[in-house]
């Protein structure tokens, strides 16, 4: 099991250390780790599980903060990695984001949280909902409250009721004047388009996010109009499996607040909302670039925040690129980024210009991959539709809301 957890800043400084078992892990392991990271060049490229001379290290990097866990025994690797991911999720949820300062300012809270999340190297509660009942988040409300009431403790007096109940994700019977439940479909489209414009691969990874503020012990049923298009699904522990097996209906008692009810994957989609047509022709030490972007399949809503990014090949000396719409920037690390925004009605956005190759090079042999970003509000591109959401014993006033959003995930166009 895990023996120790370190939080490192982006300069390799140990911000926090939590020993979990009797086998103390010396801090010098962090120095070893940091040397290793530096020798790898880019922390992004170093592997999540590393064997140091003395320990096996799990690392997860979030917002410049490295979560490092050490162990000396064989264990399921995902357990270590998942746990660190949860720690980072919970911390960023508690502290409203992650960065060096916020962790240093709130290290007491971080210690408290880790104390409840893991004991003797074995993970316990990692549900933010439950933790919030044991340790109040350091938000403004609680600060104000403590000033007003004079009670300066940021710990609630009661233990979470759920620890004893059979629904471990839900606190005992909250009360709300307004009963609300919101369901969001958030989809990410991953696509690869070849240089000849053929769609090599296109699939959607989606999540159903629910934000529920319901009194008592609400029993919800959510159904889709077309569940058959789902290729694979994963559920929050609250979802009952049998109704899904038999009727593809989600039946569940939700945790209080925001959570991810379900994630799904839909593969083999046939088209993308946008087309991107890059053209690169090179001769005599120059390369002409021309990229066109337009709407291929109108999703019915506005396509927003369209961006296009590509890495200039290392053999390029200089680039002169312009567009007829939006702005083009060439960033320090030779990444060219073109911000388009929305597609105008009257013209097709295009990026054109020339790249100057290194001397001695006649033609370009390395072709960049264009990464496309976009966002469409109000549509789930996979076509998944929510049919209805029912509450078994509906309270008198109940607000239900549905939203959908699609954005580009790994959307790549090769040239």
Partner 1 sequence: MAPPAQSQRSPSPSQPSGKSEVSDLKLQLRQLAGSRAPGVDDSKRELFKKVISYMTIGIDVSSLFGEMVMCSATSDIVLKKMCYLYVGNYAKVNPDLALLTINFLQRDCRDEDPMIRGLALRSLCSLRVANLVEYLVGPLGSGLKDSNSYVRMVAVMGVLKLYHISASTCIDADFPSILKHLMLHDSDTQVVANCLSALQEIWSAEASTSEEASREREALISKPFIYYLLNRIKEFCEWAQCLVLELVTKYVPSDSSEIFDIMNLLEDRLQHANGAVVLATIRVFLQLTLSMTDVHQQVYERIKAPLLTLVSSGSPEQSYAVLSHLHLLVMRAPYVFSSDYKHFYCQYNEPSYVKRLKLEMLTAVANESNTYEIVTELCEYAANVDIPIARESIRAVGKIALQQYDVNAIVDRLLQFLEMEKDYVTAEALVLVKDLLRKYPQWSHDCIAVVGNISSKNVQEPKAKAALIWMLGEYSQDMQDAPYVLESLVENWDEEHSAEVRLHLLTAMMKCFFKRPPETQSALGAALAAGIADFHQDVHDRALFYYRILRYNVSVAERVVNPPKQAVSVFADTQSSEIKDRIFDEFNSLSVLYQKPSYMFTDKEHRGPLEFADELGNLSIGEAANNVVPTQMVEENDKDLLLTTSEKEETKGSRNNGSAYSVPYDGSSTSVFASQTQIESAVSNPTLAGHSPQASFAIDDLLGLGIPAAPAVLSPPQLKLNTKAALDPSTFQQKWRQLPVALSQEISVSPQGVAALTAPQALLRHMQSHSIHCIASGGQSPNFKFFFFAQKFEESSNYLVECVINTSSAKAQVKIKADDQNTSQDFSTLFESALSKFGTS
Beta carbon nearer to partner 1, 48 or 401: 48
Q: How far apart are the C-alpha atoms of 381 and 205, rounded to whole Å? A: 10
Q: Residue 229 burial (CB < 10 Å; 0-12/13-18/19+)?
A: middle
Q: Tell me how far, at minimum, the Cβ of 397 lies from partner 1, in Å.
A: 31
Nearest to 382 by CA among 183, 182, 189, 184: 189
List Cβ neighbours of 38 (8 Å cut-off, separation of 6 or more). none
| Contact of 377 with 184, CB cutoff 8 Å | no
In angstroms, the CA 168 to CA 53 distance is: 40
Q: In this structure, how many other beta carbons lie within 10 angstroms of the beta carbon of residue 152?
A: 9
Q: Looking at beta carbons only, is 28 or 228 nearer to partner 1?
A: 28
Shortest Å, Cβ 395 to partner 1: 27
Q: Please, which residue, 112 or 325, has the CB nearer to partner 1?
A: 112
Cβ proximity to partner 1, 21 vs 215, nearer residue: 21
Residues 6+ apart with CB under 8 A from 73: 1
Of 214, 267, 205, the C-alpha closest to 410 is 205
What 3-state class would DSSP assign to 199? strand
Rounded least distance, CB 45 to partner 1, Å: 5
From the number of C-beta atoms within 10 Å of its C-beta (0-12, 13-18, 19+), residue 84 rates as: buried
Q: Least separation, in Å, of the C-beta of 159 and partner 1?
A: 5
- Nearest residue (CB) to partner 1, 179 versus 382: 382
Q: How far is the CB of 231 from partner 1 (least distance, A)?
A: 7
Query: Look-up: residue for tokens 């989600």?
Result: 250
Least distance in Å: CB of 118 to partner 1? 9
Q: Which is nearer to partner 1, 74 or 346 (CB)?
A: 74
CB of residue 324 vs partner 1: minimum separation in angstroms?
A: 26
Encode 195-255 in three state secondary structure: CCCCEEEEEEEEEEEEEEECCCCCCEEEEECCHHHCCEEEECCCECHHHHHHHCEEEECCC
Residue with tokens 């369901």: 183
Picking from 327, 325, 355, 330, the residue whose alpha carbon sits closest to that of residue 339 is 327
**Residue (85 or 398) nearer to partner 1, CB:** 85
Nearest to partner 1 of 76, 300 (CB atom): 76
Specify which residues 386 forms β-bridges with. 224
Q: How far is the CB of 73 from partner 1 (least distance, A)?
A: 9
């Amino acid at each position: 099991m895990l023996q120790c957890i370190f939080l490192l800043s982006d300069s390799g400084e140990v911000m926090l250390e939590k020993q979990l078992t009797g086998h103390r892990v010396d801090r010098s392991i962090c120095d070893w780790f940091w040397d290793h990271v530096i020798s790898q060049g880019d922390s992004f490229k170093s592997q999540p599980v590393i064997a140091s001379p003395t320990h096996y290290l799990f690392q997860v990097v979030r917002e410049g903060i490295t979560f490092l866990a050490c162990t000396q025994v064989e264990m399921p690797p995902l357990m270590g990695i998942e746990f660190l991911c949860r720690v980072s999720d919970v911390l960023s949820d508690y502290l409203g984001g992650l960065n060096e300062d916020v962790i240093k300012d709130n290290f007491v809270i971080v210690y408290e949280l880790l104390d409840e999340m893991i004991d003797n190297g074995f993970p316990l509660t990692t549900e933010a909902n439950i933790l919030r009942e044991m340790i109040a988040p350091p938000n403004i409300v609680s600060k104000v409250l403590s000033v007003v009431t004079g009670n300066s403790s940021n710990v609630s007096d009661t233990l979470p009721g759920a620890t004893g109940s059979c629904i471990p994700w839900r606190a005992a019977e909250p009360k709300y004047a307004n009963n609300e439940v919101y369901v969001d479909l958030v989809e990410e489209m991953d696509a690869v388009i070849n240089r000849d414009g053929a769609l090599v691969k296109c699939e959607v990874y989606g999540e159903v996010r629910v934000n529920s503020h319901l009194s008592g012990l609400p029993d919800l049923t959510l159904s889709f109009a077309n569940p058959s298009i789902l290729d694979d699904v994963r559920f929050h522990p609250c979802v009952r499996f049998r109704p899904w097996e038999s009727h593809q209906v989600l039946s569940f008692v939700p945790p209080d607040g925001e959570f991810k009810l379900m994630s799904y994957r839909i593969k083999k989609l046939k088209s993308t909302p946008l087309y991107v047509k890059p053209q690169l022709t090179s001769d005599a030490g120059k390369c002409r670039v021309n990229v066109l972007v337009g709407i291929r399949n109108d999703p019915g809503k506005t396509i927003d925040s369209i961006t296009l990014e590509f890495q200039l090949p290392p053999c390029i000396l200089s680039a002169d690129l312009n567009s007829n719409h939006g702005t083009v920037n060439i960033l320090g690390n030779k990444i060219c980024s073109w911000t388009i925004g929305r597609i105008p009605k009257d013209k097709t956005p295009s990026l054109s210009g020339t790249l100057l190759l290194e001397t001695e090079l006649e033609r370009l042999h390395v072709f960049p991959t264009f990464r496309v970003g976009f966002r469409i509000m109000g549509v789930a591109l996979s076509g998944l539709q929510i049919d209805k959401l029912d509450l078994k014993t509906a309270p008198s006033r109940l607000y239900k809301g549905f939203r959908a959003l699609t954005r580009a995930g790994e959307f790549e166009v090769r040239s």
